[in-house]
C-alpha cells in the first residue's frame, strides 16, 4: 500500500522538487556495480557502488543521493565523486529511487514512513552502509552522506536519524531535517521561511534519536542565490539548524572567497555554508584537470565550482592534502546598501516577487507587497546575497 500511495503523487510531487535531469546510460559493470542483496530493504531502493581498484581496508565510505527523476548513473557520471574516490581512496554508495516509490524518483524526504530512524528508505540506506563496510572492511567512523535537492533533503534527515552512523554530510540545494511531513508542507518548505528559531530547528534533529547526546555530524551546505526551486532561505535555515545542534553561534567565525563566485562562511568548523552568487538549482561542478576541479556539466549539474571536491576536503577525505585558500575572519561584511521601492529592487535584481509579495534575493527575507509604494533598504553582504537593512543606508 505504501508504494501505491506514493505512486499516486505524480502531479503534486512535480511541484515539490523538480530536479529534472536527463538520465545517463548506466556505466559498464566494471565502473558502477549494482548490489542486488544488501540486507533489510524496507524502502525498496536499489544499491549501486563504485569501488576504486584495489581499495585498501580501513578506508571511508561516501553515500551520494541523486535528485528527482535522476538515477545512480547520473550522479556517478556528473558529480565527480568517482574520480575523487580514485584519488583519495574511498568507496562510494549510490542509492537509487524507483517510480514505484515516487513517480518522479524523488527520495521521500517529506515522509516519516521513509525519513526516520529504522524506517523505509532511511533504513534501506543504513543497510547499504552496513553492506559497504562489510564488503570493503571500511572505517565505520568515517562514513559520510551527500545529496542534491530531494537527495539533499534526505541527507539532512539521515544526519538527524543516524548521527551515530554519519560523521558529516553535504547538502546541495536541500532542506532542513524534518522540515515537512507531507507534500503540502514540502512545497511550503521549499519556497518559504518557516520562521523557526535555531533552537526549534535543532529540536527537530534531536527528536529523531531520543537520548543521543553526540557527537553530531558536521555539515556542509551548498546553496545558489538564484535558486527558486529550493529557495535560498533553506540554506539559512540549515545553517541555523545545525549550528544550534552543535551549540555554536550563528555568527560566522570566518569567511572565504572561493572560485565560481562562491562565498564560504564557516561556523566554528562544525558547519559551513557555501553560497554561490546567481547559481540556480543544481549541484555545482567544475570540469577540468586542475587539483580543485571535478565533475561534468549536465541537467542540474551546473558549472562554477566543484562542490564535491570542497565537500570532500571538509569531510577530511583528502587527509589534509587538499588545496585551500586563506580564510579572513570577519563579521557581517559591509557591502552595497540601497534604499528603494520593492518594485525597483526586483527590477534591479536585488529581490524577487512571488504571489504579489517581495523577497530579498539570497536571504529570502519578506519585504511586503510588490509595488512602488513600499520602501526598504537592502544591503549586499556577499555577492548576490541581500538582507534587509532599514535605517542603515
* CA gap 101, 276 in Å, rounded: 32
- Residue 384 within a domain: yes
Mean pLDDT along residues 178-201: 96
Q: Residue 66: pLDDT above 50?
A: yes
In a domain, 167, yes or no: yes
Task: Say what the pLDDT of residue 320 is.
Answer: 67
Active site residue 30: no
Is residue 228 located within the same domain as residue 116? yes
> For residues 252 and 98, what is the distance between their CA atoms, to the nearest angstrom?
40
pLDDT (0 to 100) of residue 386: 81
Domain boundary among 284, 315, 346: 315
| Per-residue pLDDT at 39 | 97
Nearest alpha carbon to residue 150 among 204, 102, 197, 118: 102
Convert the pLDDT of each residue in 67-124 to its tens digit: 999 999 999 999 999 999 999 999 999 999 999 999 999 999 999 999 999 999 999 9
Residues 355 and 300 in one domain: no
- The whole-model pTM stands at 0.79
Of the listed ranges 239-253, 302-316, 375-389, the one predicted with least confidence: 375-389
Query: Per residue in 207-220, pLDDT tens?
Result: 999 999 999 999 99
Which pLDDT belongs to residue 341? 83
Residues 310 and 348 in one domain: no
13 and 106 in contact (C-beta within 8 Å)?
A: yes
pLDDT given for residue 11 in this prediction: 34
Question: What is the C-alpha separation between 289 and 321, in angstroms, rounded?
Answer: 16
Is 117 a member of any domain?
yes
Residues 342, 199: one domain? Answer: no
Whether residues 380 and 277 fall in one domain? no
71, 103, 124, 149: the catalytic one is 149
Closest CA to 61 of 240, 302, 293, 312: 312
Same domain, 342 and 308: no
pLDDT at 201 over 70: yes
Residue, of 233 and 346, whose pLDDT is higher: 233
- Same domain assignment for residues 187 and 139: yes
pLDDT at 24 over 80: no
21: confidence class by pLDDT, cuts 50, 70, 90: very low
How far, in Å, CA of 304 to CA of 281, rounded? 13
User: Does residue 127 sit in the same domain as residue 230?
Assistant: yes
Torsional sign, CA 289, 295, 297, 301 = negative
Q: 218 and 267: one domain?
A: yes
Residues in the chain: 393
At 1 the pLDDT is 34
**311 & 341 share domain:** no
Q: Is 13 a member of any domain?
A: no
Do the Cβ atoms of 310 and 220 come closer than 8 Å?
Answer: yes
How far, in Å, CA of 183 to CA of 166, rounded?
27
- Domain range enclosing 79: 33-315
Q: What CATH number is attached to the domain comprising 198?
A: 3.40.50.1820
Full DSSP string of 91-123: EEEEEE--TTT-TT----TT-TTTSSTTSHHHH
Nearest alpha-carbon partner for 92 in 123, 50, 129:
50
Q: Which residue, among 190, 99, 91, has the nearest Cα to 145 in the 3D structure?
A: 91
Residue 75 domain-assigned (yes or no) = yes
Mean pLDDT score, 228-245? 97
Measuring CA to CA, which residue among 273, 384, 348, 355 is closest to residue 376? 348
Structural domain total, the chain: 2
How many CB atoms neighbour CB 247 within 10 A? Answer: 11
How does pLDDT run across 327-355, given as a tens digit for each residue? Answer: 333 333 446 788 888 877 876 778 887 77
Question: Cβ–Cβ contacts within 10 Å for residue 142, how many?
Answer: 18
Report the distance separating Cα 347 and Cα 306, nearest Å. Answer: 31
Residue 121 is predicted with a pLDDT of 98
Question: What would the pLDDT profile of 287-321 be if each residue is shown by its tens digit?
Answer: 999 999 999 999 999 999 999 999 999 999 998 66
Handedness of CA 176, 161, 243, 267 (dihedral sign): negative
pLDDT confidence band for 7 (50 / 70 / 90): very low
In a domain, 26, yes or no: no
Residue with cell 581512496: 89
* Longest distance between any two alpha carbons in the chain, whole Å: 67
Higher pLDDT, 388 or 247: 247
350 and 268 fall within a common domain: no
Segment 365-376 shows an average pLDDT of: 85
Chain centroid to Cα 271, Å, comes to 13
18 assigned to some structural domain: no
**Does 348 lie in the same domain as 309?**
no
Asked if residue 14 is part of any domain, the answer here is no
Task: Give me the chain's average pLDDT, please.
Answer: 88
Q: Is the pLDDT of residue 20 over 70?
A: no
- HSE at residue 11, side-chain half, CA atoms within 13 A, is 0
Amino acid at each position: 500500500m505504501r508504494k501505491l500511495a506514493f505512486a499516486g503523487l505524480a502531479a503534486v510531487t512535480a511541484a515539490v522538487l523538480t530536479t529534472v535531469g536527463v538520465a545517463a546510460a548506466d556505466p559498464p559493470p566494471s565502473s558502477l556495480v549494482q548490489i542486488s542483496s544488501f540486507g533489510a530493504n524496507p524502502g525498496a531502493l536499489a544499491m549501486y557502488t563504485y569501488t576504486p581498484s584495489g581499495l585498501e581496508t580501513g578506508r571511508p565510505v561516501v553515500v551520494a543521493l541523486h535528485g528527482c527523476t535522476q538515477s545512480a548513473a547520473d550522479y556517478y557520471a556528473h558529480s565527480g565523486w568517482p574520480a575523487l574516490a580514485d584519488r583519495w581512496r574511498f568507496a562510494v554508495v549510490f542509492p537509487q529511487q524507483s517510480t514505484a516509490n515516487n513517480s518522479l524518483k524523488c527520495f521521500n524526504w517529506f515522509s516519516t514512513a521513509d525519513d526516520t530512524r529504522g524506517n523505509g528508505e532511511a533504513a534501506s540506506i543504513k543497510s547499504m552502509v552496513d553492506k559497504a563496510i562489510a564488503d570493503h572492511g571500511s572505517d565505520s567512523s568515517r562514513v559520510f552522506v551527500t545529496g542534491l535537492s530531494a537527495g539533499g533533503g534526505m541527507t539532512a534527515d539521515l544526519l538527524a536519524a543516524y548521527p551515530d552512523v554519519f560523521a558529516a554530510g553535504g547538502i546541495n540545494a536541500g532542506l532542513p531535517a524534518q522540515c515537512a511531513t507531507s507534500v503540502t508542507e514540502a512545497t511550503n518548505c521549499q519556497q518559504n521561511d518557516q520562521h523557526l528559531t535555531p533552537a526549534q530547528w535543532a529540536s527537530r534533529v534531536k527528536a529523531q534519536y531520543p537520548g543521543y547526546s553526540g557527537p553530531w555530524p558536521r555539515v556542509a551546505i551548498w546553496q545558489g542565490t538564484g535558486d527558486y526551486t529550493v529557495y535560498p532561505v533553506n540554506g539559512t535555515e540549515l545553517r541555523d539548524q545545525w549550528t544550534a545542534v552543535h551549540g555554536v553561534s550563528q555568527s560566522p567565525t570566518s569567511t572565504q572567497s572561493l572560485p565560481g563566485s562562491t562565498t564560504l562562511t564557516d561556523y566554528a568548523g562544525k558547519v559551513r555554508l557555501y553560497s554561490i552568487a546567481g547559481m540556480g538549482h543544481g549541484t555545482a561542478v567544475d570540469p577540468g584537470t586542475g587539483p580543485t576541479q571535478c565533475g561534468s556539466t549536465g541537467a542540474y549539474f551546473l558549472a562554477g565550482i566543484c562542490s564535491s571536491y570542497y565537500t570532500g576536503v571538509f569531510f577530511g577525505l583528502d587527509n589534509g592534502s587538499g588545496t585551500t585558500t586563506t580564510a579572513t575572519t570577519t563579521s557581517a561584511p559591509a557591502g552595497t546598501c540601497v534604499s528603494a521601492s520593492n518594485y525597483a529592487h526586483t527590477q534591479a535584481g536585488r529581490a524577487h516577487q512571488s504571489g504579489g509579495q517581495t523577497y530579498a534575493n539570497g536571504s529570502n527575507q519578506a519585504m511586503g507587497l510588490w509595488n512602488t509604494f513600499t520602501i526598504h533598504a537592502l544591503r549586499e553582504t556577499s555577492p548576490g546575497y541581500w538582507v534587509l537593512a532599514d535605517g542603515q543606508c
